[in-house]
Amino acid sequence: MGFQPSGGAKSFLELTDVLDTTFTAKAGKVPMVNVEETALELLDPQGYYPIFPDTQLYQGTKSNEWETLDCGVGKAFVFIKCEAPAGAGCFFRQKGETHDSAEYGVQAPSVGAGEIGYAWCPTDINGCVEWKLFASASVYLWLIGYVRNPTLTGDLIYDGLVNQTAWVDLNTLVGRQALVQMQEWSKETSTEAISVMFKPKDWTPDAVSTNKYCCAVQGNMGADKFAHVFLPCKDDGLMRWMDLDRDASMTIRTLAMIVPIWTSSQIFSGIAPTVWTELATGLSGKHFVLIELKSTSTQTMSQFQFRPGGETNEVGTQGGSNNNYNDTLKPLGISFAWLPTDAEGKVEWKCGNADITAIATLRAYL
């Protein structure tokens, strides 16, 4: 007769290193090591997937000092909406960062009275970011959506003098096609801004606008300040970059990456609307979408704006275009927007100039 154990745990939930105490409301979840690497808990299957709680995170008067903001989501990429009744510059950074934020970048929406801005920022493993305002003001924050389980990288990919005036390769070290958020930090002591451009490797050299402060993938930094950029890299993890202003010393790190579902589906071709207009992505249900926008006009620079479907407030323009939702393109320029759709898979967009032709393509989604 074989060995018959006596005593001990007879149920998974009785194990001392299992955090859950019930299977109720846990359908479809799987056992996973927790973020502290000390126990097991029942979690959603690993993978990059979006969740859209649309919950308020903050309401009150905020100062210009960095403070922790608990998003309550664990390790994630968070998409935060900022509204300031009297206007405000709102800045976000990964918790634990010690450098101050530049005034431009996907982490720094700047909004006027009655306008909104968006920030896209990775949390720490406990679901926290840090934030502040440019000056003390009344502000509202909403967690519109987030992507669970991003890969937090933190790799140093450049440290030195930046003086290239033509596009050169930059290896993100992620080794695959992905959406990557990077941090540039100026090591300069001069308060003069440094302006550096990034683009996916396969965009042609003139595809990205080189107008200062007018591209979603441009970082502008002052002394000892950082900016974030967020854009896709190719299968080999490469993108391209160039310097726009002057020789400067800086570092570049990758902060986090996600791997979306890649596609190439044209969703618009024609004269861009000058009032907020729905743009169907061809998807059903709520998603995060990466929309590539090409201006096919040759006559003038044009400002394009995007917002999630169903939003009724204007998108702030004070922070330039570096938050991906305002973008001023030169003739024949290309840029992109990463934002959530509504429940019908739609976003909204408009152009600040009349009779501007454009092509919009859905490049990726989650």
| pLDDT 10s digits, 27-45 | 556 787 765 678 887 765 5
Quote the CA–CA distance of 294 and 202 in Å, as a whole number.
14
Residue 194, beta-bridge partner list? 221
pLDDT above 90 covers a percentage of the chain that reads 26
Given the DSSP bridges, would you call strands 115-122 and 314-315 parallel, antiparallel or unpaired?
parallel
* Residue among 84, 106, 103 at smallest CA distance from 94: 106
- Tokens representing 227? 């900016």
Examine the pLDDT at 328 and tell me if it is beyond 70: no
Q: Which amino acid is at 322?
A: N
Mean predicted confidence (pLDDT) in 57-82:
91
Q: Tell the residue number behind the tokens 């190719």, with chain if given.
A: 234
Q: What is the CATH number of domain 50-148?
A: 2.60.120
Sign of CA dihedral 313, 109, 247, 153: negative
What percent of the chain has a predicted confidence (pLDDT) above 70? Answer: 78
User: Does residue 132 have a pLDDT over 80?
Assistant: yes
Residues written for the chain: 366
Q: Which residue has the higher pLDDT, 105 or 281?
A: 281
| DSSP calls for 258-326 | E--EEEEEEEEEEEPPSS-EEEE-S--S--EEEEEEEE---SS-EEEEEEETT--SEEP-TTTTTTSSE
CATH architecture for segment(s) 261-365 = Sandwich (2.60)
Q: How far apart are CA 119 and CA 111, in angstroms?
A: 12
Neighbour tally for 101: CB within 10 Å: 25
Q: What average pLDDT does range 55-63 have in this prediction?
A: 92
What average pLDDT score do residues 133-145 get?
A: 88
Higher pLDDT, 289 or 240: 289
Residue 346's pLDDT is what?
Answer: 96
Q: Which carries the bigger pLDDT value, residue 33 or residue 306?
A: 306
Domain 151-258 sits in CATH 2.60.120: yes
Report d(CA 310, CA 276) in Å as an integer.
10
DSSP string of 188-204, one letter each residue: -SS-S-EEEEEEETTS-
Confidence of residue 221 (pLDDT cuts 50, 70, 90): low
Distance CA 171, CA 174 (A): 8
**75 phi and psi angles, rounded to 5 deg:** -65, 120
Mean pLDDT check: name the lowest of 72-86, 122-136, 242-256, 345-359: 242-256
- Tokens representing residue 146 in the block: 């987030």
Residue 68: predicted pLDDT: 96
Question: 149 versus 110: which is more confidently predicted?
Answer: 149
Question: In this structure, are residues 160 and 270 in contact, taking their beta carbons and an 8 Å threshold?
Answer: no
Q: Where are the domains of the chain?
A: 7-45, 50-148, 151-258, 261-365
Letter string b/e over residues 51-75, b meaning 16 or more CB atoms within 10 A of that residue's CB: ebeeeebeeeebeeebeebebbbbb
Show Cβ contacts of residue 272 under 8 Å, excluding neighbours closer than 6 positions.
302, 304, 349, 350, 351, 356, 357, 358
Specify the pLDDT at position 265.
95
- The average pLDDT across 97-116 equals 70
Q: Whole-prediction pTM value?
A: 0.81
Q: What is the mean pLDDT of residues 78-102?
A: 83
